[in-house]
Structures are given as structure tokens and as C-alpha cells.
């Protein structure tokens, strides 16, 4: 419950900080409604639509209503998938409005002590520090391998946790050992002659829990003919902070990353997680009021490119790629599609793999319900959205669901588990499948040579 | 305000989960797509069936509580803005397609069905529901019927009215009546179906509709004609009709509109010409080819600088989507977008376009014009800023002159958006005092307590300027 004094402070901050022009640009045509997952899943509640949320934000600014619980509820139930921006003829930048509003509420709302402590630990104590992320991951790896996980599951200790955490625990990937969680090389040479010089954004979660996917990404870049630079001083992108109402922390992280990359003479800064890529791409907006950093942020943002776009540009899809025969469908990462505007490249790469029968699922561009930590804080709506997604996935009869963002990947794994499909369906990151395909083709060529010589 | 007693009874009918009077819950139903209007309802109610609607009407009639039926709130005349408070009635639970009758070529639907969903459902059976308002992806059939919505195919296929065969309507006193049916012919008494279509929720609440379907045309072609002269484009429209061709679509967009639409859609629309016509024909293959060729020739004879056929259905659909987005895309120019709906006989299109430009110049305003040129229905649109009072006054004066000009040319103040609260001050210009009196007599007979969407269609005083309520 937000007290009346907190509400008054929030309202004042809304009036000072919300972009009134942007709020007015919404001309309430309603074109966004059919693209909004929460509007659809809530049974067409206007308050759960972008148009409704903008109306509420504007009403708070205009002093028509207080930022009461219903307003907070409406804003917190938004996935932030930004599908509405794609279809908005007026070009309203809804995501920016939402981010600002959430930041204002989070910064002015008095939260219970335990929530504040957890937030401080996660946002300030853990994510910005890669060595701590590694320690946390190696602890997780130890938990998985020591038999403790089996013990915990057997004894039912997990039942002490909320259902959403329990489910998440089950689908966490097998984390590398402390030894494997390595410090990154600073530079990698291309296979053959260099076509391009690029930098790689390793991310924080991606470089710990999903380290193998990062390894695969760099390997693909080498195969495609890239010299890869990996600056050691980079860190977490700050997306979780930005979306979770910790804008100031996000700005600090942004500055650290800009400084880490700006001296490099590279054509692109390559990302392999839609959520991070989209946030990096909007550093210029994040730092728009900072004269010292604004232009530097814009220069940084201009270089951000998803791995799939880079691979297509370098003709990777023309190489020989092969996997065992399987039916594949692709779940768009919302931020990759709606903010980075990358949708065709991943599909093109998948369709280039021999052995892949690609089947588009209905509403592939609709959010899977993962949305950062949304599935943990809004489990009910998240699972409702996920169950629809799995229904669509099932209809394709796909045995492989491909995604391009760690959150979506975990969510798909969760969906597969919920739908009882663990025996027949797997979820993989696009780059992992691509590396599998490149190695598969190599192996096949090897066999061919052996047959010919024998 | 809703008396406690009434509130209790309403909740008894629909259940607490379908009755919302929280402040935020009311605020999000305080508007529709009409820029200048916003007013809070006292409660928002979502009934589950006709019986519940009837009981709600009875209670509201007893307590004199206004009822505003609302689909997706996409309308452009403030028709679903609760200007006198009361309850907003939602149809989110009443959204089923009840039947598609392939033998009689009809569809029976509940009011909350989304227009595009119905189109897709009948297309699956080789049938065609032609009314296609720009907002069809989200607007509801109930809303289309209440506002008698038009669309891009109005020229050849008519508007919603032409496809409504029968209705189930809840009257203000709670009576449920049925009009028409699956019949092609029916002259038993007054045509109540037509009376309710386009009555903007002021006479009753539509709770079910039987709609006419037609066979899907065999084929369709789309082309774009570009002009360096606005009036030459308008002349082409009259000439096409005068040559006895009725295309399925004949849309007009001027340069400022093209620019913003292209900025949104990014499909390679030309932005360096003064106007374009988007032309479509459907029907048997040979007829379509003949008509398209004839129309291309006419456009060229009127100095079209280029006439190009869409190469694929994908390309054609992109053009149509771009056109449908024109209104909202114009909102990119300035924060407030005032869209009007002046309509003239199609022979007067060129004169009307010219007059709009002169009026815009006189009041130093940017007025973009696009619309359904084929049926004389233009949408002069002024991107402005509601915060600039002085400019808003000029906008209002300019539009008054535009309406007056439309009527002078034998036209009307609204071709497809309806009167609502937006045009109410001007209705008398079109109908005269006797016309208004006749309409009021009907309203009085069906809704003596004036609870059905009050404040719409009839202005409290005539010639009152539109009031901006922010």
C-alpha cells in the first residue's frame, strides 16, 4: 500500500519528469490494443492496454487521479514488450514513458525492509559486479552438481518457495564449474582472413549462467570471418535496472560500458541477447539529459547489432550447415524484434540449415511472458501468457524451439516442462543451434573424406 | 452519482467482478479516439448476456442513470465518451460469432465481436463481409452498427447499414425487441433495423445482429496513381465515375498525409508528389482487368505523373494498411489531431478540396486531406496543439467554414463518423429545425427519460463551439 504522502510525492514527480508531449502524442486510436498481450489475456481490460496505461499516466500528470493502487497495478502488469510501439501510427514511445513512470514509483514508494534489501542486493550488490556474478553462478553450479539439488528436490524443501521460483529452479541451465567460469580472452582471431573487426558484448548473466552460449557466439563470429575484441572492463547492460525502476544505477552501468567500448576501432558491437541489445541501443535516450555523455552514448548505440544480423551480413547462411532432421519454430525476443527490429535474420539463418524444417508458429511475435523478472513477480499473468504460447508452439509440432534471449529461453524451457513435453521438445538459443549446425556439417564432411579415402 | 441502492442491484445482476467504480477503472473509460473529449463515468459494467443488459436498462431507467454502450472506443465523434456520467456498458463478454449460415449467406453475432475476426471467419468459408472501417482490427461490430461505420470499400459496397438484416435491441425501459431477420425482403411496418443502425446508442442497446454476407469476389487488383496537382487528382475521381466504373476503392491522400504515412509504414510511398489516388477493383478477372486499364487511362489523361499496379497482394495490403493508418499517423506532426469528416456529392470533390486549401490558408493552418474520394467522403485533418488556445480557436473557425462549404455543395457534416458530441452543434445546419424536431420525437418516444447515451446527436444549444476539456 502506498501512503497518501508517497502518492503526493509520486504525483509531483510525474508532473516534473513525465514527457507531456509524448503523453499527448497518444491520440487514443486504439490501434495498439490487439497487439497487447496483457489486454488480450486480461479479457480486454482497457486498464491493461497501452492506451489505458498512457491515459492513467497522463491523468496523474493532469492531477485527475492520484497514483493509487489501481494505477500501480496497471503499470506493474505491463510486460514492457513494446509490441504496441510497432503498430502505433503516431509513433508514441511507450517504452520510455513506462520506464520513467516505473522509476518514479520505485524511487518514491516506501517498500518493506526485506524488499528493499533484496532490491539492493540484486540491483547494486550483484548484477553490476561480474566477479560476484561468477561466484553466485559457481555456487549454483556446486548446488546442481553436489547432489544438494537432488536432495532439496526430494525433501520437498522447495515447497517453502513460491511456485514461480520453484518452477524457475527446475529449468535453470547446468552452470559451468568455478574453474570453467573463466576470464574472457581480450581478442580472438578469425578463421581465415578477417572480413570485419567487431567487439563482443558479453553481458553478465550470459557470461555466467549461459557461458556456453557466449562461447558459441564468439566461435560463430570467428567462423564468419570476424576479428573479435572483448574489452575486459565491460559489465552488465543495466536493462534489469532500467526496467525495474533503478534508472540511476542503469546510467552508471551505461557509462561504464560506453567507456569500455568507445576507444575500440570496431564496426559493430555484437550482442546475443535481445533484452541487453535493446537496452544498449537506447543508451542515448537513457543519457539524453547528460551533456557529457549524450553524444558518446549515441555513437555507442549506433554500433549495436544482434549476432544474427552480423552473420547474415557476412553470408554465414551460405556456409554448409547441417543438423539431424528436426522441426524448428522460432519465438521472437520482444526487444530484439520491437526495439532492435531484427526478425528476418534469425529466420533466414534457421531456414539455411540442412535438416531443419522451419515452421512459423502463430503469434510468434507475441511476448512469451518472461519479460525480465516479470515471470517471478507476476507469475499468474506470466503463466497464462506462456500457456497460450505453448499451445501455439504445439500446433507447429516443432521438436526444437529457438529463441534469442536468455529470459525467453528459460521461459520456453519452463513452458515445455509445464506442457509435459520434456521428452519430445527442446529449447535452444539460436547461436547454440547454429554452432551445432556448423559443426554438424564439418563432421559430415569429415565422414565423407574418410569414405572417399577408404 | 449512482445511488447505493441501484449499485447494489446492479452488482447483484452482473457480479462484483463485472462492476468497477474505482477511480482508475473509470478513468480508462472516460475517453474514446476523439481528441477534445474526456469525462468520467460513475461506473463501468460488463454484462454477460441480453437478459442482464435488459435488467441493467430497467434499473438505470428507474434511477435516471445514463447508459453509454461501448465497444473498443475507437470512434471519432465522442460517441462513447460519457459526457453526462452514468455507466459505461462493455461488451467484452458478449463477443461470440453465434452462427455463419452458408445457406442464407448470413452471420449472426454478438456486439463485442471484433470486425476483423468476423471478416476472417467468413472468408474461411469463401464469403465476404465488405464494411471495413479503418479501425477494423480492433473496432467491434456493435460499434460499427451504432455508428453506421463506413470504410475503404464504401463506394462499391456501401456501409455497415447495407449489411444489417436484423437486430436484437434492448430498449431504455428494458424491453427486448427483434427487428428484421434472415430475410432478403421484409416490409412489415416501419424499418426499425435502419432506425437503430447509426443511432449512436441513443435509442437502444444492440445485443445481437444478423448480417448479410456476399460471395467473395473472384479477384482483386490495386494501383496507385500519382499527381503533381491536387485538383487533377480530384477531377480523375469524377471522371472515373462519369465513365460508369464503380471501383471497390478510390482513396485520396495529399502530400502532407503521404509524408507522415510513409514515415510510419515505410513501404516506399512517394512523398514528392502533391497527391495520390489508391484505386482497387474486384470481381471477375476480365472485368477487373478491363476496369483497371480504363481507370489507368483516365488518370493519365488527367496528368497523373505515374500509374502503377501493385505487383503482389502483399504490396497491395501494405498500401491499404498505410491508408488506414493515415489518421493516427498524422498525430506525428503535432500532439492534438483534429480529424473531420466532411462529405460532398462526388462530382464536387475538386471544389471541396480547393475550398479546404483556401480555408486552411486563410486561417494559417496546416490542414491535411485524405479520404474516400470515390464516395465524396473527405477527412480534412488539422494537426494542432490543444495547449495553444489561440490556434484552437482558429481551427474551430476553419472547420465551421469547411462544414458550411460542404453543405453549400450539397454535402453533409459527417459521412461516416457520426454526430456524437463532436458534431451535435452543427446538426441543425444539415437538418433544419423541423428535421431536428422529427428526430427528437423519435428519441422521446423510445427513451422518454433520456438515459440512452445522453448528450449525443442533439446539442443543448445549436452553433455552440466545440469545447476543449483537458
Q: Residue B352 half-sphere exposure, CB side, CA atoms within 13 Å?
A: 36
- DSSP readout, A118-146? HHIIIIIIITT-HHHHHHHHHHHHHHHHS
The CA radius of gyration of chain B, in Å to the nearest whole number, is 22
- DSSP readout, B130-185? ----TTTTT-BHHHHHHHT---TTHHHH--GGGGEEEEEEE-TTS-EEEEE-S-S-
Model pLDDT, residue B434: 96
C-alpha cell at A254: 551505461
pLDDT class of A290 with cuts at 50, 70, 90: very high
- DSSP readout, B411-443? -BS-SSS--TTTTGGGHHHHHHHHHHHHHHHHH
Mean pLDDT of A214-233: 96
* Least CB–CB distance from A29: residue in B25, B92, B328: B328
For chain B, say whether A448 makes contact (Cβ under 8 Å). Answer: no
Helix or strand holding residue A401 (H, E): strand A400-403
What's the gap in Å between the CA of A140 and the closest CA on chain B?
43
* Angle at alpha carbon of residue A154, lines to A152 and A160, rounded to 5°: 55
Instruction: List pLDDT tens digits, range A346-357.
Output: 999 999 999 999
The ipTM, to two decimals, is 0.92
Asked whether residue A170 carries a pLDDT value surpassing 90, the answer given is no
DSSP 8-state class, residue A179: T
**Contact yes or no for B306/B225 (Cβ under 8 A):** yes
* Angle at alpha carbon of residue A206, lines to A203 and A209, rounded to 5°: 140
Q: Say whether B328 and A34 touch across the interface (CB within 8 A).
A: no
Sequence length of chain B is 470
Q: Say whether B33 and A30 touch across the interface (CB within 8 A).
A: yes
Model pLDDT, residue B469: 41
Chains A–B, number of C-beta pairs less than 8 Å apart: 97
**Contact yes or no for B128/B211 (Cβ under 8 A):** no
- Is residue B293 helix, strand or coil? helix
Instruction: Mark A234-249 as b/e (b = at least 16 C-beta within 10 Å).
Output: bbbbbbbbbbbbbbeb
Instruction: List pLDDT tens digits, range A1-30.
Output: 578 888 999 999 999 999 999 999 998 999
Q: Which of A103-117, A235-249, B79-93, B282-296 is least confident?
A: A103-117
Asked whether residue A189 carries a pLDDT value surpassing 70, the answer given is yes
Instruction: List pLDDT tens digits, range A256-282.
Output: 999 999 999 999 999 999 999 999 999
Query: Which residues, numbered 81 to 110 in chain A, qualify as contacts with chain B under a Cβ-Cβ cut-off of 8 Å?
Result: 88-91
User: Which chain A residue lies closest to B30 (C-alpha atoms)?
Assistant: A55
- Chain A positions touching B328 (Cβ under 8 A) are 27, 29, 31, 88-90
Q: Closest Cα to residue A428, out of A408, A453, A454, A451? A: A408
Integer Cα distance of A86 and B312 in angstroms: 23
* CB burial of residue A308 (10 Å; 0-12, 13-18, 19+): buried
**Residue A12: count of CB within 10 angstroms of its CB:** 12
Integer Cα distance of B88 and A52 in angstroms: 15
Q: Which residues contact A80 (CB under 8 A, 6 or more apart)?
A: A95, A98, A99, A243, A371, A372, A374
* Least CB–CB distance from A89: residue in B29, B32, B264: B264
**Contact yes or no for B96/B109 (Cβ under 8 A):** yes
For chain A, say whether B381 makes contact (Cβ under 8 Å). Answer: no
Integer Cα distance of B75 and A407 in angstroms: 39
Alpha-carbon separation of residue A453 from A446, A447, B205 (angstroms): 11, 10, 83
- DSSP readout, A3-46? -HHHHHHHHHHHHHHS-HHHHHH-----TTGGG-HHHHHTTS-G
Q: Which residues contact B425 (CB under 8 A, 6 or more apart)?
A: B459, B461, B462, B463, B464, B465, B466
Asked whether residue A454 carries a pLDDT value surpassing 80, the answer given is no
pLDDT along chain B (470 residues), means of 10: 96 97 96 89 98 98 98 94 96 97 97 98 96 94 96 92 97 97 89 97 98 96 90 89 92 86 82 90 96 95 90 83 78 83 88 91 92 88 89 91 94 91 88 94 97 92 43
- Chain A positions touching B114 (Cβ under 8 A) are 34
Model pLDDT, residue B301: 95
- Is residue B446 helix, strand or coil? helix
- Is residue B30 helix, strand or coil? coil
Model pLDDT, residue B462: 45
DSSP 8-state class, residue B103: T
DSSP 8-state class, residue A367: -
Q: Say whether B137 and A65 touch across the interface (CB within 8 A).
A: no
User: Which chain B residue lies closest to A22 (C-alpha atoms)?
Assistant: B335
User: Which chain B residue lies closest to A50 (C-alpha atoms)?
Assistant: B28
For the beta sheet containing B87-90, the strands, ordered from the edge strand earlier in sequence to the opposite edge, are B19-20, B43-45, B87-90, B67-70
For chain A, say whether B24 makes contact (Cβ under 8 Å). Answer: yes
Q: Closest Cα to residue B380, out of B391, B392, B388, B371? A: B371
C-alpha cell at A95: 517504452
C-alpha cell at B109: 453475432
**Contact yes or no for B400/B334 (Cβ under 8 A):** no
Residue given cell 468459408 in the structure block: B125
Model pLDDT, residue A127: 84
For the beta sheet containing B304-309, the strands, ordered from the edge strand earlier in sequence to the opposite edge, are B304-309, B219-227, B275-283, B249-254, B368-372, B377-384, B336-339
Amino acid at each position: 500500500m502506498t501512503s497518501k504522502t508517497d502518492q503526493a510525492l509520486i504525483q509531483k514527480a510525474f508532473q516534473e519528469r513525465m514527457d507531456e508531449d509524448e503523453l499527448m502524442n497518444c491520440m487514443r486510436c486504439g490501434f495498439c490494443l490487439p497487439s497487447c498481450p496483457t489486454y488480450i489475456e486480461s479479457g480486454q481490460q482497457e486498464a491493461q492496454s497501452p492506451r489505458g496505461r498512457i491515459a492513467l499516466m497522463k491523468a496523474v500528470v493532469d492531477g485527475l487521479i492520484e497514483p493509487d493502487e489501481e494505477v500501480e497495478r496497471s503499470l506493474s502488469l505491463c510486460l514492457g514488450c513494446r509490441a504496441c510501439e510497432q503498430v502505433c501510427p503516431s509513433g508514441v514511445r511507450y517504452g520510455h514513458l513506462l520506464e520513467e513512470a516505473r522509476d518514479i514509483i520505485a524511487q518514491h514508494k516506501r517498500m518493506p525492509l526485506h524488499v528493499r534489501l533484496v532490491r539492493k542486493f540484486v540491483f547494486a550488490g550483484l548484477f553490476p559486479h561480474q566477479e560476484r556474478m561468477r561466484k553466485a553462478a559457481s555456487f549454483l553450479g556446486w548446488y546442481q552438481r553436489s547432489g544438494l539439488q537432488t536432495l532439496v528436490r526430494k525433501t520437498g524443501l522447495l515447497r517453502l518457495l513460491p511456485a514461480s521460483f520453484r518452477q524457475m529452479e527446475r529449468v535453470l541451465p547446468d552452470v559451468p564449474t568455478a574453474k570453467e567460469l573463466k576470464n574472457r580472452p581480450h581478442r580472438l582471431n578469425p578463421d581465415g582472413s578477417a572480413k570485419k573487426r567487431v567487439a563482443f558484448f558479453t553481458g553478465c548473466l550470459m557470461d555466467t549462467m549461459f557461458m556456453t552460449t557466449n562461447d558459441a557466439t564468439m566461435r560463430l563470429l570467428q567462423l564468419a570471418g570476424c576479428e573479435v575484441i572483448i574489452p575486459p572492463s565491460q559489465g552488465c547492460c543495466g536493462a534489469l535496472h532500467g526496467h525495474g525502476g533503478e534508472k540511476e544505477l542503469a546510467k552508471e552501468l551505461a557509462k561504464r560500458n560506453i567507456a569500455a567500448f568507445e576507444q575500440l576501432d570496431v564496426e559493430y558491437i555484437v550482442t546475443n541477447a535481445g533484452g541487453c541489445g535493446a537496452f544498449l541501443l537506447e543508451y542515448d535516450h537513457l543519457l539524453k539529459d547528460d551533456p557529457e555523455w549524450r553524444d558518446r552514448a549515441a555513437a555507442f548505440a549506433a554500433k549495436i547489432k544482434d549476432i544474427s544480423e552480423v552473420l547474415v551480413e557476412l553470408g554465414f547462411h551460405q556456409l554448409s550447415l547441417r543438423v539431424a532432421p528436426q522441426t524448428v519454430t522460432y519465438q521472437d525476443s520482444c526487444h530484439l524484434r520491437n526495439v532492435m527490429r531484427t526478425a528476418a535474420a534469425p529466420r533466414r539463418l534457421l531456414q539455411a540449415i540442412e535438416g531443419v524444417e522451419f515452421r512459423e508458429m502463430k503469434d510468434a511475435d507475441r511476448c512469451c511472458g518472461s519479460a525480465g523478472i516479470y515471470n517471478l513477480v507476476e507469475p499468474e499473468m506470466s503463466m497464462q501468457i506462456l500457456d497460450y504460447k505453448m499451445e501455439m508452439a504445439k500446433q507447429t509440432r516443432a521438436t526444437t524451439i529457438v529463441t534469442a534471449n536468455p529470459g525467453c529461453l528459460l521461459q520456453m524451457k519452463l513452458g515445455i516442462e509445464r506442457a509435459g513435453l520434456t521428452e519430445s521438445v527442446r529449447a535452444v538459443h539460436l547461436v547454440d543451434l547454429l554452432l551445432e549446425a556448423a559443426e554438424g556439417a564439418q563432421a559430415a564432411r569429415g565422414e565423407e573424406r574418410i569414405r572417399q579415402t577408404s | 452519482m449512482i445511488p447505493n441502492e441501484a449499485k447494489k442491484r446492479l452488482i447483484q445482476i452482473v457480479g462484483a467482478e463485472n462492476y468497477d467504480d474505482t477511480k482508475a477503472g473509470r478513468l480508462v473509460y472516460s475517453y474514446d479516439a476523439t481528441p477534445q473529449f474526456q469525462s468520467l463515468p460513475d461506473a463501468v459494467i460488463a454484462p454477460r448476456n441480453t437478459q442482464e443488459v435488459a435488467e441493467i436498462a430497467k434499473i438505470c431507467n428507474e434511477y435516471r442513470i445514463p447508459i453509454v454502450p461501448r465497444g473498443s472506443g475507437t470512434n471519432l465523434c465522442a460517441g462513447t465518451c460519457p459526457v453526462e456520467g452514468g455507466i459505461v456498458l462493455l461488451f467484452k463478454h458478449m463477443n461470440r460469432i453465434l452462427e455463419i449460415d452458408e445457406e442464407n449467406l448470413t452471420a449472426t453475432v454478438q456486439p463485442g465481436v471484433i470486425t476483423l475476426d468476423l471478416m476472417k471467419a467468413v472468408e474461411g468459408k469463401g464469403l465476404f463481409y465488405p464494411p471495413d472501417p479503418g479501425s477494423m482490427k480492433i473496432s467491434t461490430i456493435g460499434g460499427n452498427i451504432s455508428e453506421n461505420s463506413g470504410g475503404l470499400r464504401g463506394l462499391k459496397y456501401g456501409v455497415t447499414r447495407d449489411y444489417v438484416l436484423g437486430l436484437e435491441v434492448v430498449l431504455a425501459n428494458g424491453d427486448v425487441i427483434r427487428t428484421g431477420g434472415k430475410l432478403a425482403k421484409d416490409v412489415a411496418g416501419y424499418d426499425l433495423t435502419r432506425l437503430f443502425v447509426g443511432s449512436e446508442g441513443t435509442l437502444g442497446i444492440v445485443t445481437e445482429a444478423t448480417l448479410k454476407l456476399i460471395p467473395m469476389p473472384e479477384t482483386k487488383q490495386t494501383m496507385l496513381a500519382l499527381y503533381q496537382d491536387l485538383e487533377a487528382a480530384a477531377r480523375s475521381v469524377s471522371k472515373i465515375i462519369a465513365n460508369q466504373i464503380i471501383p471497390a476503392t478510390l482513396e485520396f491522400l495529399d502530400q502532407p498525409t503521404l509524408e507522415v504515412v510513409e514515415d510510419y509504414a515505410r513501404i516506399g510511398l512517394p512523398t514528392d508528389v502533391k497527391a495520390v489516388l489508391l484505386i482497387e477493383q474486384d470481381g471477375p478477372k476480365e472485368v477487373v482487368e478491363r476496369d483497371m486499364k480504363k481507370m489507368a487511362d483516365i488518370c493519365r489523361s488527367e496528368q497523373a505523373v505515374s500509374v502503377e499496379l501493385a505487383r503482389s497482394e502483399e504490396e497491395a495490403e501494405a498500401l491499404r494498411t498505410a491508408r488506414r493508418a493515415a489518421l493516427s499517423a498524422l498525430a506525428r506532426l503535432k500532439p492534438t489531431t483534429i480529424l473531420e469528416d466532411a462529405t460532398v456529392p462526388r462530382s464536387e470533390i475538386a471544389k471541396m478540396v480547393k475550398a479546404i486549401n483556401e480555408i486552411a490558408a486563410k486561417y494559417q493552418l496546416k490542414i491535411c486531406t485524405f479520404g474516400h474520394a470515390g464516395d465524396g467522403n473527405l477527412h480534412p485533418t488539422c494537426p494542432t496543439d490543444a495547449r495553444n488556445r489561440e490556434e484552437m480557436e482558429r481551427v474551430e473557425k476553419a472547420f465551421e467554414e469547411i462544414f458550411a462549404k460542404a453543405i453549400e455543395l450539397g454535402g453533409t457534416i459527417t459521412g461516416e463518423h457520426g454526430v456524437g458530441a463532436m458534431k451535435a452543434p452543427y446538426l441543425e445546419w444539415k437538418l433544419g429545425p423541423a428535421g431536428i424536431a422529427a428526430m427528437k420525437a423519435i428519441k422521446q418516444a423510445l427513451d422518454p427519460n433520456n438515459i440512452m447515451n445522453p448528450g449525443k446527436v442533439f446539442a443543448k444549444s445549436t452553433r455552440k463551439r466545440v469545447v476543449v476539456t483537458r
